[in-house]
Amino acid sequence: MQEIGHFIGGKKVAGTSGRFADVFNPATGEVQARVALATDAELAAAVENAKSAQPQWAAMNPQRRARVFMNFVALLNKHMDELAEMLSREHGKTIEDSKGDIIRGLEVCEFVIGIPHLQKSEFTEGAGPGIDMYSIRQPVGIGAGITPFNFPAMIPMWMFAPAIACGNAFILKPSERDPSVPIRLAELMIEAGLPEGVLNVVNGDKQAVDAILTHPDIGGVSFVGSTPIARYVYGTAASNGKRAQCFGGAKNHMIIMPDADMDQAANALMGAGYGSAGERCMAISVAVPVGEETANKLIEKLTPMVESLRIGPYTDEKADLGPLVTRDAYNRVKGLVDRGVEEGAKLVVDGRDFKLQGYENGNFIGGCLFDDVTPDMDIYKTEIFGPVLSVVRAKNYEEALSLPMKHEYGNGVAIYTRDGDAARDFASRINIGMVGVNVPIPVPLAYHSFGGWKASSFGDLNQHGTDSIKFWTRTKTITSRWPSGIKDGAEFVMPTMK
C-alpha cells in the first residue's frame, strides 16, 4: 500500500513517527493509502530547512521571485489533468470540480506575479528640514498554513503563493484526508525554480498543528477549518507571539425576493447548495424566499431538480456531485438530516437511502431538501457540510434580512432580485463578509480579498488580494537625515514638524 510522507528540503521524505492515518477512496470506502503523521522533530526539521533557505530567497529581487510563479502557473496548466485526477481520487469531487479547485488557486499565483508592484511602499521627500521618510515591507520570515480537506489545491495556494512571493519560507500542514495534491504542488514549485527548503509540506494531526503554533521561528499562521478549531488556533498562535488569520464555519443564506427570476434563482441554488456535495465553506445551505407565493414557487421548482441530481464517482463524467469525503462525514450529515425530521422540518426530498450499484460501501448520500425550517432548529444553526438545503420562509424583506444578520456565522450571503434599491440596501446593511447580488457563491477574485465576519473569521487581514501582502509582510518606517545643516547640541523636546 502507498505510504505518503512529507516534503522537506526540496524532496519527498518518509515519515519516522510510526503513526499513520488512512486515506480512503470516498467512492468505495476502501483504504487506498496511508499518510505519515509528523512528530515535533519532523516539524522542526522542516522549520530548519525553511530557516536556512529564507534569507537568500528574501534577498532575491521581487521580479525574479515573480518569475518562479510565472513558471509555476505554466506547470499547473500543463499538469491540470494529472492534478485533477489525483485530487478527485482522494476527495471524491468530480473532475471538473477539481479543475475549478486548482484554477482558483492558480489565479492567486497569477496575482502574485505582480509582487514587484504589490510589495512597493511609500516615500516622502522633505518630510522635515533635510528629512526624508519612507516605509518598506519586509517578510515575516517563516509562515505556516493549516488547510482543510475540501479544497486541497486552492487553499494551500491561497496561503503559500502570497507568503512565498513576499520573500517568506513556508510550512504547509494539509489535511491528512487528501494529502497527495499538496505534495505534488510543492514538487512543481521546485521545478518552477523555487529554491529547496522555501516550501515544505508536513503531514500530521493535532500534534503537528500544536508544534506549528508553538515553534518560536514561525512568525505567521493561516488556518481554514471549523470555528472551534479556528478559535483555538488563533488564540494559541497569538499567545505564542504569532500573527494569525483563521477562517471558520459558515451558514450561507440566499434571499429570494418576489421579483426574482425564479428559474435563475433555482438553478443558482442547485449549483451553490449541492455542488461538491455541499462540502464548501461558501455553499448556500439556507434559501430564504420572501412571501408564501415565492416560497411555493421555489419549492415547486427545486423538488424535481433535487430528485434528478446525478450522483456518482468522479470517474462518471455526467455526475453532478460525488460522495462525501469519509464515512464519518456521511454519518454526521445523515444524523443531522435525521435531527431535522425529529425537529419538525418538512423533508421534501429525502436522499438518506441513496445507494449506487457497485459502490454500496461508498460515502454517497442523495440530495436532501427541507421546507418549513425555523431558526431554532439544529439544521439551521449548524453547518451541515453536505448536500442539504434548508428553506426558511420569510414574510417580508426585513424578516429575511434579519436571518443572516442574527446568525453567528458571517461568511457569505446572496440576494436574488431585479430591484436595485433592495439589492443596494441589502449589500449596505448586511453584516456578512462576502455578498452576492444575483451571484450565488460570491467568492472574490484573486485581486480582492476573501474573508468572513463574526464567528467565520478571526484576525484583521483576509486571504489573497492586497490583504495577503500586508499579512505576510511587516512594515518598517525609516526617518532619514544627513549631517549637512544639523545644529550642534542635544535636543530634549519631542520632535515635531513645527
Catalytic positions are 281
Helix (H), strand (E), coil (C) string for 109-174? HHHHCCHHHHCCCCEEEEEECCEEEEEEEEECCEEEEECCCCCCCHHHHHHHHHHHHCCCEEEEEC
Q: How far apart are CA 360 and CA 367, in angstroms?
A: 17
Answer for the pair 250, 409: CB distance below 8 angstroms, yes or no.
yes
For 119, 263, 379, 392, the CA distances from 415, given in Å and listed in that order, are: 36, 14, 21, 14
196-221 burial, b at 16+ Cβ within 10 Å, e below that, comes to ebbbbbbbbeebbbbbbbebeebbbb
Q: How far apart are CA 154 and CA 70, in angstroms?
A: 17
Residue 374 carries which side chain, given as an amino acid letter? Answer: T
Q: How far apart are CA 45 and CA 34, in angstroms?
A: 21
Answer for the pair 34, 23: CB distance below 8 angstroms, yes or no.
yes
Q: How far apart are CA 449 and CA 327, in angstroms?
A: 34
| DSSP-assigned states of every residue in 334-361 | HHHHHHHHHHT-EEEE--TT---TT-TT
